[in-house]
Amino acid sequence: MYLLYFFCSRQHDLCFSLVYFGFLVIHWDLRIICISASSLIWLLHDLLLLVIRLNLLYKEYLITSMGEAPAFFADSLLGDFPNGVDLKSKGHKTAISIGSKIYVIGGADHDSTAVIGVQIFEKSSGEWINPTVLGTKPKVSNGHSAVLLNGDRILVIKGNSKSDECFWFLEVGTPFIREQEKTYGNEVVAWSKGVLGNVEKPIVISGPSGVGKGTLISELMKEFPSMFGFSVSHTTRAPREKEQNGFHYHFSDSSVMEREIKDGKFLEFASVHGNLYGTSVEAVEVVADAGKRCILDIDVQGARSVRASSLEAIFIFISPPSFEELEKRLRARATETEEQIQKRLRNARAELEQGKSSGLFDHILVNDDLESCYENLKNILGLTEGVKTAHKTYPELVDLPVEHLVSKIDQKILINCGAGEYEKASDSMYVLDLSLVKGGAPGRTRGLNLFVTNPSTDRVNDENQLS
Ligand SMILES: Nc1ncnc2c1ncn2[C@@H]1O[C@H](COP(=O)(O)OP(=O)(O)OP(=O)(O)O)[C@@H](O)[C@H]1O
Ligand SMILES: Nc1nc2c(ncn2[C@@H]2O[C@H](COP(=O)(O)O)[C@@H](O)[C@H]2O)c(=O)[nH]1
């Protein structure tokens, strides 16, 4: 009985235990045979255990790869990738636990082998979720580290990358994500690339057609070419004579643009004067990647959508000195037919009313005399003499090793490029300061500050030493 209990209590196969016990009883008199038979059975027994274990492992693999996982898997997942602020890199995957969810970052995405994928493991149900992933996805690298920030954003630092490709933010629970989840009816996560430097907020310029928005924007771009970049919109309207595709607009078919809107490619879009216009997320990202401040020329509906998005911007409304002057300018431009001019003027009345009364705009500028309006615009943007060309340079993280160590002190992330422990590191250490971070998905996370510190001489936990 003891043997039977022993085998069963160790969760061995019950049938196996019975057979084995029966064998011992039958052969009790033939002790020598029994002893050798017993050894043989022990061997068989161990082999059987091995088979059972392999079978379990295979089932576990099947379950997890098919989208479900047993509850114990969560522990093993976090056991493999301990949660906290320290290094969470193991191979090409990291795991971050937030509430009841574990975000597993790494490996290839389902639609492309070239980007970092994201999967969510729901601990309570033991299910794997493939979230809707918004934003430009980072390309895979040999390895990365992941650090949880503020409970709703994960900083991913890619190994083998330069500083302009290295820092990525995965938003998982921000207000923007909650909104998107309502739209998509699915778990949503969104990538935004971290951009070094304190690039100022984008500028949204709105106002009725013909008021002079484009004229003011080209003045700014001409005077400060390295500071401002224009967000090139998509539109379904036909190009004007001198307009170039990709420079003035991305001219698009309605069917293509509608599909791209459904795919979440646009930050905002609106039907304006009978055509579709929209700002793609990429249009804003391209400008931020160039380290420039983005200018959006969009109508009032678009401005309202951007205000509701997570893109923090300055909103400026340009008003004409009078309705008669607006009509005069629109006609003098001679780019529209009479019918189109009438339509634009009708819409202008509504836009002027909304622009001036809705509280949507931070500033309202009257474009009477062009020169003085332009000066006022520059004042709003803080473009006094001297500040305009100040450009900070940042250390280049050339080939950040895969084995880098990452830790977090307040708003600062310490990146140790030596693969050893911090005390042993002889090389300089990078410090990524996130205290001035602005923006986020969709688009770019700006305001990252990177500098080098020497671990043997600097006190890394002293704010003053670092800033
Ligand atoms: N302050 C001004 N005084 C006189 N004319 C102006 C002034 N500002 C702009 N204009 C002229 O008014 C016309 C319309 O200007 P612009 O094309 O810049 O308007 P817009 O607001 O960008 O129009 P749309 O929304 O249709 O693109 C242009 O011919 C421009 O040269
Ligand atoms: N909501 C958006 N409005 C846009 C965008 N790009 C331009 N516009 C506005 O459309 C009208 C007409 O422009 P036009 O070039 O045909 O004269 C003008 O008020 C623009 O501000 C956009 O991406 N989204």
Contact 288, 444 (CB under 8 A): yes
> Could you report the per-residue pLDDT of 218-247, keeping only the tens digit for each?
999 999 998 999 999 999 999 999 999 999
Is the pLDDT at 436 greater than 80? The verdict is yes
Q: What atom of ligand 1 comes closest to residue 373's alpha carbon?
A: 1
Verify whether ligand 1 is closer than 6 Å to residue 212 (CB atom).
yes
Kindly state the average pLDDT of the residues 62-67. 38
Residue ranges of domains in the chain: 2-64, 74-197+396-465, 203-380
Question: Which residue type occupies 31?
Answer: R
Percent above pLDDT 90 for the chain: 47
What's the complex ipTM?
0.99
Verify whether ligand 1 is closer than 6 Å to residue 418 (CB atom).
no
Model pTM score: 0.66
Highest mean pLDDT among 10-14, 17-21, 104-108, 387-391: 104-108
pLDDT at 86: 34
DSSP secondary structure letters along 203-263: EEEE--TTSSHHHHHHHHHHH-TTTEEE--EEE-SPPPTT--BTTTEEE--HHHHHHHHHT
Verify whether ligand 1 is closer than 6 Å to residue 273 (CB atom).
no
pLDDT at 71: 38
Percent above pLDDT 70 for the chain: 72
> Could you report the per-residue pLDDT of 339-366, keeping only the tens digit for each?
999 999 999 999 999 998 879 999 999 9
Bridge partners (DSSP) listed for residue 407:
414
Phi and psi of 105, rounded to 5°?
Answer: -110, 130
Measured from the alpha carbon of residue 249, the closest ligand is 2
Contact 249, 232 (CB under 8 A): yes
Query: CB within 6 Å of ligand 2 — which residues?
Result: 209, 213, 233, 237, 268, 270, 272-273, 277-279, 297-299, 301-302
Q: pLDDT grade, residue 105 (50/70/90)?
A: very high
pLDDT at 356: 86
pLDDT at 409: 87
Task: Decide which of 183 and 257 is more confident.
Answer: 257
Percentage helix, strand, coil, to 5, in the chain? Answer: 35, 25, 35
Task: Decide which of 420 and 200 is more confident.
Answer: 200
Highest mean pLDDT among 86-100, 105-119, 296-310, 431-445: 296-310
DSSP secondary structure letters along 277-340: EEEEHHHHHHHHHTT-EEEEE--HHHHHHHHHSS---EEEEEE-S-HHHHHHHHHHHT-S-HHH
pLDDT at 31: 55
pLDDT at 28: 54
| Residue to mutate, 205, 300, 329, 346, ligand 1, most ligand atoms under 8 Å from C-beta | 329
d(CA 444, CA 198): 12
pLDDT at 10: 41
Which stretch of 166-180, 323-337, 397-411 has the lowest confidence by average pLDDT? 397-411
Verify whether ligand 1 is closer than 6 Å to residue 206 (CB atom).
no
pLDDT at 407: 84
Q: Report the 10 Å Cβ neighbour count for 281.
A: 23
d(CA 349, CA 444): 35
Catalytic (active-site) positions: 240, 333, 344
| Residue to mutate, 277, 281, 318, ligand 2, most ligand atoms under 8 Å from C-beta | 277
Q: Tokens in use for 135?
A: 């934003």
Residue 81, classed as helix, strand or coil, is coil
Q: Report the 10 Å Cβ neighbour count for 169.
A: 26
Chain-centre distance of CA 127, in angstroms? 23
CA of 212 to the centre of ligand 1 (A): 3
Helix (H) or strand (E) holding 168: strand 167-171
d(CA 17, CA 8): 7
CA of 321 to the centre of ligand 2 (A): 21
Question: Does CATH place domain 203-380 in 3.40.50.300?
Answer: yes
Tell me the pLDDT of the chain averaged across its residues: 80
> Could you report the per-residue pLDDT of 135-181, keeping only the tens digit for each?
888 988 778 889 999 889 999 998 878 888 899 999 999 988 998 89
Highest mean pLDDT among 139-143, 187-191, 416-420, 462-466: 187-191
CA of 156 to the centre of ligand 2 (A): 36
Kindly state the average pLDDT of the residues 427-451. 84
CA of 208 to the centre of ligand 2 (A): 9
Contact 148, 154 (CB under 8 A): yes
pLDDT at 391: 54
Verify whether ligand 1 is closer than 6 Å to residue 57 (CB atom).
no
